[in-house]
Structure 1
Amino acid sequence: MNSNHPLKDLVDKQKNGIPEGIYSACSANEYVIEAVMERALIDKMYVLIEATANQVNQFGGYTGMKPTDFRDFVYLIAKKINFPLEKIILGGDHLGPLTWKHEPEYLAMDKSLELIKQYVFAGFTKIHIDTSMHLGDDCADCQLSTSIIAERGAILCKKAEEAFIELRAFNPTAVRPVYIVGSEVPIPGGSQDEDERIQVTKVSDFVNTIDAFKQAFLKYDLSSAWDNVIAVVVQPGVEFGDETIHEYNREGAKELSNALKKYPGIVFEGHSTDYQTPKCLKEMVEDGIAILKVGPALTFAMREGLFALSNMEAELFRFSPEVEQSNFMEVLDSVMARNPQNWINHYHGNPAKIRYARKYSFSDRCRYYFPVSEVKFSIDLLMKNLKSVEIPLALINQFMPIQYNKIRNNMLKRTPESLLKDRIINSIDDYIYAVSATSVEKKQ
């Protein structure tokens, strides 16, 4: 990676009228990350891969990985497919007290300081500071003031800057991190309320956020760090839930988009852009939302691919009692039903509706269960069974017609791994189209 952060170069392009962006893959799934890198190899692009605070932290998070573990995990995948390490940007998402928000401020912030320090030490160079949530001893019925959010954010940024100085002492080539701030931050993983009305961030709130964070940074002698604040998280009117998708409305976000023009070194970062159409994604980038966060949509595509492969397995081995089938769809649902903690707050209704949601919901809560040993064993068995035969083209056409066409045109191998990763790439392609300034028109 060169000394000038590639995301700062991206901001410069945006401010010079070049509608270029980057998408951020927020995932710790090996198949997803591999697909992201394989697609980027085609156009020699950077990849931005982010870990979220509740996913990866100093205690292991729900993935069991600390920041250095996640870095090594990503680098191992890169080496496997010969992806250049210098083209990888590692990002830390929602870094702050999110995971410990029910604890008193002094405890939650103390853990947050260690969290951000470990991310910087591990070589993460895109740091999203998120202090937007109430903490255990905040007034629960009072709106958290932007000044408090900014003050806590500046304290975390100071720790990040100190950590970078330590890092630079034994790694002189380390790239200085850039920061993303913002007090209007969507809940990670999508909305929990299907009827929730999505309000575009008011210009006044955006301006107040900039002013409050700048004042707080200067208060803590962080003027050089402020020069590396490249983006503000806003709500441009996009969100998704269990069964709903709130599409980007360019006209509705016009006032907010115009307000961004007054800030020469800052773009918007858009969260929860999953399931937006290619047209909407491209309009977002053109309107200054240069960083598009996506996560559940990628594992949703992976889940679709696994279901398709599972159907192929059932057809091929239905009358082969000597072959132990993976029964992936049944195993996944059984594990989810027995361990409801990761979906129970998202899926509501009668048992039939909940069972449907566990499989097909846009919230894609099943992604939390892919690392479970029972589910992982089932996926591995599915791949092993399908690698033991040549999958008939007719079956591929039945369950994965886009991949069938690629195989017929010698663009894709007929292996279960290739089929699965290419299904994920179908979703990635929408983002590649959106973030590329020279993209040709894409069929919606």
Structure 2
Amino acid sequence: MKLMLDLVRRHKQAGAGPAVGIPSVCSAHPVVIATALRECAEQGRPALIEATSNQVNQDGGYTGMTPLDFRRYVQKLAENEGLSPELLLLGGDHLGPNAWRRLPADAAMAKAEIMVTQYVAAGFRKIHLDCSMSCADDPVPLAEAVIAARAVRLCHAAEQAWQQAPERGDPPVYVIGTEVPVPGGAHEDLGELAVTSPEAAASTLELHRVAFQRAGLEAAWERVIAMVVQPGVEFDHHKVIDYRPEKARSLSAFIEGQSGLVFEAHSTDYQTPERLAQLARDHFAILKVGPGVTFALRETLWALAAVEREWVGEGEGLVDTVLGVMRAEPEHWRGYYQDPARLDVDLAYSLSDRIRYYWAHPAVRQACQTMLSRLDASPPPLTLLSQYLPRQYEAVRDGRLATRTDALLRDGTAQALRPYLHACSA
């Protein structure tokens, strides 16, 4: 993946001014992906789209897609949005035993090896090796040496898959790191977070370097471009822990001395534009976002549902349909929302945005399409856009945005993506 290697090289060489970096969009929603691809296409910059091990795997994940399915899905969207094929980068996030952690470690790792092999064979070239979670027969927490050994095992599978691919293309690049935030945000109320110390980062790096060397993976080690650490950012259901650069100063100084290596920042969702830009300047050159974008999508759909209620006012609304499906099928949120007193608010508004698991549900998909079709058939007056979608109202008045629901929905979603693009110089 020459684009990523070049990006890291330019980041390490950059002086004052906007930081060289790239947003990483972790989502399977077609509007989110299409919006990211369109924004990148308009700026002529690369788009990094990542699938997580829970979303996409050999068993289908919660999207029902295998890695090859997801690649074809994103490629079609990229073609529709006018993004040049050479600017599309595909990554695999949290690739490890997470989806099968309730199994014994040997069984879970065997499943993870198959998954990583399929990701690389399908053309994914940015691979996050994440074996930080304990499996059914593991101690808690897992020793870093075990995490490194398991990462090497998966790297070996990835390298073999690349070498055996009919069209090899660029070799994979890798992301390592043991201080990995919980995918999708924290489950509990958070206080202040401890930033990874330079000593802990150095220990993680050395453990992995030695493990790669002992396994004969020196060539792959040269393609380790980033490590995941904790810069002190996170979000829970209703609160955001903001980045404080003074607390990460020594951590940032550490990575400056590591040739060819940057940080990858997870859970940056909901950080302010200024803090995102500071993260990029502090060598968090890969900024991952996921729930924050689907949260913006949900906000826009909720606003359109309010417009529909005021303007059309017939049938069961989208909001009632979505929340009804969530209550009837709670498997995607039951382990996350624990307080019965605020369950209604958590289901609809939590920053962890468990709603994102339900957009593909047939009843939800139909309700969404019905609402959008009604509003397109009977466009609402600007006064209702002003009331419920004020940012889009201003863009419509300026002639920058059409009043079609697809344009309104994409612009609402893009509000969460544009600060990332602004924070990073391509």
Cα RMSD (Å) of the superposition? Answer: 1.3
- Which whole-Å CA distance do the structure 1 matches of 2:187 and 2:116 have between them? 27
1:171 aligns with 2:167: yes
**The one of 202, 209, 216 aligned to 2:197:** 202
- Distance 1:162-1:270 versus aligned 2 partners, 3 A rule: same
**The one of 3, 8, 11 aligned to 2:5:** 8
Q: Please say if residues 38 and 82 of structure 2, whose CA atoms lie closer than 8 Å, have aligned partners that are also in contact.
A: no
5+ long unaligned stretches in structure 1 = 319-323, 438-444
1:198 maps to a residue whose letter is L
Q: Please say if residues 189 and 237 of structure 2, whose CA atoms lie closer than 8 Å, have aligned partners that are also in contact.
A: yes
- Which whole-Å CA distance do the structure 2 matches of 1:33 and 1:298 have between them? 10
Give 1:127 deviation, angstroms.
0.2
- Which whole-Å CA distance do the structure 2 matches of 1:137 and 1:358 have between them? 33
Please say which of residues 207-216 and 76-85 is displaced more in the overlay.
76-85
Give 1:205 deviation, angstroms.
1.0
In the alignment, which residue of structure 2 is the partner of 1:184?
A: 179
Give 1:96 deviation, angstroms.
0.6
What do the CA deviations read for 1:289-328 (whole angstroms, capped 9, x no partner)? 000000000000000000111111111112xxxxx54510
Aligned pairs, number: 423
**The one of 327, 332, 346 aligned to 2:317:** 327
What do the CA deviations read for 1:147-198 (whole angstroms, capped 9, x no partner)? 111111011101100100011xx215x1211000011111100001103542
Q: Please say if residues 314 and 325 of structure 1, whose CA atoms lie closer than 8 Å, have aligned partners that are also in contact.
A: no
**The one of 144, 148, 153 aligned to 1:155:** 153
Give 1:109 deviation, angstroms.
1.0
1:76 aligns with 2:76: yes
User: SS in structure 2 opposite 1:391?
Assistant: coil
Where does 1:102-121 land on structure 2 (aligned, <5 Å)? 102-121=102-121
User: SS in structure 2 opposite 1:200?
Assistant: coil
Where does 1:125-164 land on structure 2 (aligned, <5 Å)? 125-140=125-140, 143-164=141-162
- Which whole-Å CA distance do the structure 2 matches of 1:39 and 1:254 have between them? 32
What do the CA deviations read for 1:344-380 (whole angstroms, capped 9, x no partner)? 22223234x1101111111111111111111011111
Give 1:408 deviation, angstroms.
1.4
5+ long unaligned stretches in structure 2 = none
Where does 1:89-100 land on structure 2 (aligned, <5 Å)? 89-100=89-100
- Which whole-Å CA distance do the structure 2 matches of 1:222 and 1:325 have between them? 60
**The one of 327, 335, 338 aligned to 1:348:** 338
In the alignment, which residue of structure 2 is the partner of 1:271?
A: 266
- Which whole-Å CA distance do the structure 1 matches of 2:365 and 2:392 have between them? 24
Q: Please say if residues 21 and 285 of structure 1, whose CA atoms lie closer than 8 Å, have aligned partners that are also in contact.
A: yes
In the alignment, which residue of structure 1 is the partner of 2:238?
A: 243
- Which whole-Å CA distance do the structure 2 matches of 1:431 and 1:195 have between them? 24
Q: Please say if residues 192 and 241 of structure 2, whose CA atoms lie closer than 8 Å, have aligned partners that are also in contact.
A: no
Please say which of residues 295-304 and 187-196 is displaced more in the overlay.
187-196
User: SS in structure 2 opposite 1:427?
Assistant: helix
- Which whole-Å CA distance do the structure 1 matches of 2:191 and 2:328 have between them? 29
1:339 aligns with 2:319: no
- Which whole-Å CA distance do the structure 2 matches of 1:280 and 1:95 have between them? 28
Q: Please, what TM-score do these two structures have when normalized by structure 2?
A: 0.97
Q: Please say if residues 234 and 270 of structure 1, whose CA atoms lie closer than 8 Å, have aligned partners that are also in contact.
A: yes
In the alignment, which residue of structure 2 is the partner of 1:371?
A: 360
Q: Please say if residues 326 and 382 of structure 1, whose CA atoms lie closer than 8 Å, have aligned partners that are also in contact.
A: no
User: SS in structure 2 opposite 1:253?
Assistant: helix
1:343 maps to a residue whose letter is W
In the alignment, which residue of structure 2 is the partner of 1:51?
A: 51
User: SS in structure 1 opposite 2:415?
Assistant: helix
- Which whole-Å CA distance do the structure 1 matches of 2:115 and 2:380 have between them? 46
- Which whole-Å CA distance do the structure 1 matches of 2:192 and 2:390 have between them? 36
- Which whole-Å CA distance do the structure 2 matches of 1:35 and 1:405 have between them? 19
**The one of 255, 260, 272 aligned to 2:250:** 255
Give 1:81 deviation, angstroms.
2.4
- Which whole-Å CA distance do the structure 1 matches of 2:339 and 2:105 have between them? 36
- Which whole-Å CA distance do the structure 2 matches of 1:109 and 1:357 have between them? 34
1:31 aligns with 2:31: yes
- Which whole-Å CA distance do the structure 1 matches of 2:114 and 2:324 have between them? 37
1:216 maps to a residue whose letter is A
Q: Please say if residues 53 and 95 of structure 2, whose CA atoms lie closer than 8 Å, have aligned partners that are also in contact.
A: yes
Q: Please say if residues 267 and 290 of structure 1, whose CA atoms lie closer than 8 Å, have aligned partners that are also in contact.
A: yes
- Which whole-Å CA distance do the structure 2 matches of 1:309 and 1:139 have between them? 48
Give 1:58 deviation, angstroms.
0.2
Give 1:39 deviation, angstroms.
1.1
Q: Identity across aligned pairs (percent)? A: 40
Give 1:383 deviation, angstroms.
1.2
In the alignment, which residue of structure 2 is the partner of 1:420?
A: 409
- Which whole-Å CA distance do the structure 2 matches of 1:74 and 1:282 have between them? 27
Q: Please say if residues 121 and 163 of structure 1, whose CA atoms lie closer than 8 Å, have aligned partners that are also in contact.
A: yes
- Which whole-Å CA distance do the structure 1 matches of 2:259 and 2:381 have between them? 55
- Which whole-Å CA distance do the structure 2 matches of 1:330 and 1:104 have between them? 40
- Which whole-Å CA distance do the structure 2 matches of 1:91 and 1:326 have between them? 39
- Which whole-Å CA distance do the structure 2 matches of 1:199 and 1:378 have between them? 43
**The one of 367, 388, 391 aligned to 1:402:** 391
Q: Please say if residues 41 and 81 of structure 2, whose CA atoms lie closer than 8 Å, have aligned partners that are also in contact.
A: no
- Which whole-Å CA distance do the structure 2 matches of 1:279 and 1:78 have between them? 29
- Which whole-Å CA distance do the structure 2 matches of 1:306 and 1:290 have between them? 31
Q: Please say if residues 132 and 147 of structure 2, whose CA atoms lie closer than 8 Å, have aligned partners that are also in contact.
A: yes
